[in-house]
């Protein structure tokens, strides 16, 4: 099949979170099983200045209508291997910046212009380059209007650009909300600025465009697909999603089993596998040494996350005494809300023998925490899929997670199912998290049960090969069902 993806980020070129990891892995995996895959990205400064861009070729010059203006742009192509092409939409006014979406304090004021332009540019590039796709797959709010722009262009030109369009919601909390005045940038007729279109409480919602105007709406786990139909998790869009319920599908993400492999991870000084775990103890020693902690009687807990309310940092802060009282070690890596950063730093300062906080984003450190911890904490209030709980199981580090979204889909609770369990699952509230921590301590004390759980976790298949077969089946069913 000829498959085109469009997103605002993709690993290893640009990344702020899991969206990039998922897009990069899915792109590579689809190509590896024989599909012709193209990917469109904005021409961010980091990409333009990268070594990979040195081989890029200018393919076409664009004139994109944006409100009352026609803005020039360029499409550059990088061949990434057989059946793999990366297309870069370049307009330096919009993308030649230090960050992808804004500064730590605030989003860029012109994000509406930047991503409406990007979506229109992708459609125009597909038309000019005569890319006739079986599937156009768009990701998150930044490409929410792309399916609609594609269909409108097809109507105007009488030419097919894609047989079917897919739209993936990676996190419904980020919706691409802009003032109603931004609608004029779309050059769409007023009928689309209504409740059954882009209008959302006197604003426009770009993610709503993807929900209403794509052929299939995707989420990144089956459980999250069910959750977002409810008022608790629907972020105000549960009504729109219920309209598309028959076309809503959840497929849990996979992980890159080559990048996340304790047997050959380049970030680790010592390697290990399900057949020889001796290196894991050395990884723990290295981690504790790096953060200035010494081994205690209790287990080592790790956490790598954006420090936000969504990630359950409030729950963690309420239970920090647990680690001190039980002589455990806690290593947290992440950046985010300054209030959370300060609170965690205070705990680390007052209990330097038990708690270490690294307020930064660091790929190497995240690998060290995954390898060197006994338990990995993810007390998320909501979690569309999550990746770290899968990384953790791959590394023999038992996830301690709240039973929401993809966490519930990918971690088997060892307390309720001791024969098959691969981690500890609890409800996302304070008392349940307290019980989850106590359950983890009890499991750690039973060395035989703990070791068996570790081995079961490490044997699980979270590969993209498995996930890709599900996407393939869905793509083919969508294209050929008519």
* 423: three-class secondary structure by DSSP: strand
- Range 2-254+464-480 has CATH code 3.50.50.60: no
Contact 273, 459 (CB under 8 A): no
**Alpha-helix runs per DSSP H in 388-446:** 388-394, 405-410, 430-445
Q: What is the pLDDT of residues 22-69, one digit of tens each?
A: 999 999 999 999 999 999 999 999 999 999 999 999 999 999 999 999
pLDDT at 82 over 90: no
Residue 105 confidence (pLDDT): 80
Residues 6 or more apart whose Cβ sits within 8 Å of residue 118: 6, 8, 40, 42, 89, 94, 142, 143
Query: Containing H/E element for 62?
Result: strand 57-66
Quick one: pLDDT at residue 482? 64
Using alpha carbons, list the distances in angstroms from residue 148 to 79, 143, 245, 344, 357: 28, 10, 19, 44, 45
Rounded to an integer, the average pLDDT of 184-190 is 97
- Three-class SS state of 127: helix
pLDDT above 70: residue 171: yes
| Whether 403 contacts 427, CB under 8 Å | yes
Whole-model pTM: value is 0.91
- SS3 call for 133: strand
- Beta strand pairing status for 69-81 and 84-90? antiparallel
Domains of the chain, residue spans:
2-254+464-480, 278-458
* 364 C-beta neighbours (distance < 10 Å), count: 12
Are 403 and 425 a contacting pair, CB within 8 Å? yes
Cβ(166)–Cβ(136) under 8 Å? Answer: yes
What average pLDDT score do residues 188-201 get? 96
Q: Which residues contact 482 (CB under 8 A, 6 or more apart)?
A: none
User: If you write DSSP's letter for every residue of 192-254 in order, what string do you get?
Assistant: GSSTTTTEETTEEEHHHHHHHHSSEEEESSHHHHHHTTSTTTSTT-HHHHHHTGGGEEE----
**For 351-429, where are the alpha helices, taking DSSP H only?**
363-372, 388-394, 405-410
CA distances from 192 to 187, 199, 330 (A): 10, 8, 51
Assigned CATH topology for domain 278-458: Rossmann fold (3.40.50)
Greatest alpha-carbon pair distance for the chain in Å reads 71
* Topology agreement, domain 2-254+464-480 and domain 278-458: yes
pLDDT at 16 over 90: no
pLDDT category of residue 480 using cuts at 50, 70 and 90 = confident
C-alpha span between 386 and 389 (Å, rounded): 7
Q: Token digits for 334? A: 């992440």
Describe the strand order of the beta sheet including 199-200 as a list of residue ranges: 177-179, 203-205, 199-200
- pLDDT bin (cut points 50, 70, 90) of residue 352 is very high
Q: Is 15 annotated among the ligand-binding residues?
A: yes
Of 127, 54, 60, 132, nearest in space to 89 by CA: 60
The partner residues of 88 in beta bridges, in order of sequence, read 41, 76
d(CA 371, CA 368): 5
The pLDDT value given to residue 256: 86
Read off the tokens for 58.
Answer: 């200018």
Tell which residue, 114, 171, 165, 159, has the closest CA to residue 135.
165
**Cβ-based neighbours of 373, under 8 Å, separated by 6 or more:** 284, 287, 299, 300, 301, 302, 331, 392, 397
pLDDT higher than threshold 80 for residue 481: no
Residue 170 scores a pLDDT above 70: yes
| DSSP 3-state of 412 | coil
């Amino acid at each position: 099949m000829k498959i085109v993806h469009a997103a605002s980020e993709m690993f290893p070129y640009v990344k702020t979170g899991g969206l990039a990891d998922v897009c990069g892995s899915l792109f590579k995996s689809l190509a590896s099983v024989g599909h012709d895959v193209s990917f469109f990205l904005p021409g961010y400064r980091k990409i333009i200045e990268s070594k990979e861009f040195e081989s890029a070729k200018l393919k076409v010059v664009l004139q994109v209508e944006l409100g009352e203006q026609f803005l020039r742009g360029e499409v550059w192509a990088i061949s990434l291997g057989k059946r793999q092409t990366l297309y870069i939409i370049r307009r330096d006014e919009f993308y030649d910046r230090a960050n992808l979406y804004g500064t730590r304090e605030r989003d860029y004021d012109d994000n509406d212009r930047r991503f409406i332009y990007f979506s229109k540019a992708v459609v125009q590039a597909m038309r000019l380059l005569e890319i006739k796709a079986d599937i156009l797959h768009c990701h998150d709010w930044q490409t929410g209007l792309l399916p609609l722009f594609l269909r409108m262009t097809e109507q105007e030109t009488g030419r097919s650009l894609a047989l079917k369009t897919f739209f993936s919601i990676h996190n419904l909390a980020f919706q691409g909300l802009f003032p109603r005045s931004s609608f004029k940038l779309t050059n769409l007729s007023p009928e689309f600025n209504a409740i059954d279109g882009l209008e959302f409480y006197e604003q426009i919602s770009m993610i709503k465009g993807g929900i209403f105007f794509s052929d299939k709406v995707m989420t990144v786990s089956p459980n999250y697909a069910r959750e977002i139909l409810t008022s608790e998790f629907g972020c105000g869009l549960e009504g729109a999603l219920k309209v598309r319920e028959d076309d809503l599908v959840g497929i849990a993400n996979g992980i890159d089993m080559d990048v996340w492999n304790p047997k050959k991870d380049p970030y680790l000084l010592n390697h290990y596998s399900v057949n020889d775990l001796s290196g894991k103890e050395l990884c723990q020693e290295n981690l504790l040494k790096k953060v200035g902690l010494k081994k205690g009687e209790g287990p080592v807990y790790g956490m790598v996350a954006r420090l936000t309310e969504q990630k359950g940092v409030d729950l963690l802060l309420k239970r920090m005494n647990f680690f001190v009282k039980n002589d455990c070690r806690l290593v947290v890596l992440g950046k985010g809300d300054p209030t959370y950063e300060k609170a965690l730093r205070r705990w680390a300062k007052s209990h330097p023998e038990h708690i270490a906080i690294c307020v930064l984003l660091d790929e190497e450190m995240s690998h060290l925490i995954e390898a060197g911890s006994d338990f990995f904490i993810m007390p998320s209030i909501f979690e569309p899929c999550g990746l770290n709980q899968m990384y953790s199981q791959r590394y023999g580090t038992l996830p301690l997670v709240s039973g929401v979204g993809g966490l519930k889909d990918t971690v088997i609770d060892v307390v309720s199912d001791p024969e098959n369990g691969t981690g500890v699952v609890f409800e996302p509230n304070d008392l349940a998290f307290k019980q989850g921590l106590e359950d983890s301590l009890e499991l750690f004390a039973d060395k035989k049960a703990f070791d068996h759980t570790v081995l079961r976790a490490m044997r699980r298949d979270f590969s993209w090969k498995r996930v890709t077969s599900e996407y393939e089946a869905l793509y083919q069913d969508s294209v050929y069902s008519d």
